[in-house]
Chains A and B, each alone.
Chain A
Amino acid sequence: GAVVSQHPSWVICKSGTSVKIECRSLDFQATTMFWYRQFPKQSLMLMATSNEGSKATYEQGVEKDKFLINHASLTLSTLTVTSAHPEDSSFYICSAPSEGVNQPQHFGDGTRLSIL
């Protein structure tokens, strides 16, 4: 079945470092991908919608200069957390929809980001 691969699965780095997270659709094309953030025991919160060939759409309150999104191809979207600080530590998850509104969203396995 369709699979979304997310890499890396775990990152630990120093404050001030920029971190790039990749999200790939492995056997289908995704013109749209979604990036979420999840705090412990909380629901997924949509951060932004990544659109192939155009600018990402950010949710209210999400800093676009802080969370850079690039959807360079039909199978790859990247999220870069720039100058990360401890408050950016979280679980980041991407998803890509199968074709058709009533088809499942396929989620990556998430990236655990820890900023020291």
Chain B
Amino acid sequence: KNQVEQSPQSLIILEGKNCTLQCNYTVSPFSNLRWYKQDTGRGPVSLTIMTFSENTKSNGRYTATLDADTKQSSLHITASQLSDSASYICVVTSNSGYALNFGKGTSLLVTP
């Protein structure tokens, strides 16, 4: 069964600090891995997309890494801001098409 596991489930950090979110998956065959940010009551917004051959991808203060051998990904947030408070969802797509396998998300709270 294709699974996507995220950790931690929730995280509280001080404004300005860095943090790293983890994503482990068993989806096979693998097509790509995406990180989304979902604000409360809104739809998810794409942060990064990585294919098998990509090890790292950045989007501003967000940097995602991918180890396709160990089937692990991380999302690093640098110099956190209050607006980073949201749920971060890891989504893995298999080669079978557009079907997305969602993680349960990490709820991040950035406090002043």
Contacts and interface: CB of A to CB of B under 8 A. Distances in A.
Interface of A: 4, 6, 32, 34, 41-46, 49, 91, 93, 95, 97, 101-110, 112
- Interface residue SS majority, chain B: strand
Nearest to A40: B40
Contacts of A49: 98
Nearest to B96: A101
A67 B51 CA distance: 34
Interface residues of B, number: 25
Contacts, number: 55
Contacts of A104: 34, 46, 49
Nearest to A108: B43
Interface string B61-103: 0000000000000000000000000000101010101111011
A91 B107 CA distance: 17
A101 B107 contact: no
Nearest to B100: A105
Given A34-B100, A107-B45, 11 more contacts: A6-B43, A44-B102, A46-B100, A93-B43, A95-B43, A101-B97, A102-B31, A102-B51, A105-B34, A107-B36, A112-B41
B2 to A, nearest CB: 12
B32 interface: yes
A110 B36 CA distance: 15
Contacts of B95: 101
Contacts of A45: 102
B41 A110 contact: yes
Interface string B35-52: 010000111111001010
Contacts of A41: 107
A16 B52 CA distance: 48
Contacts of B98: 32, 34, 49, 97, 101, 105
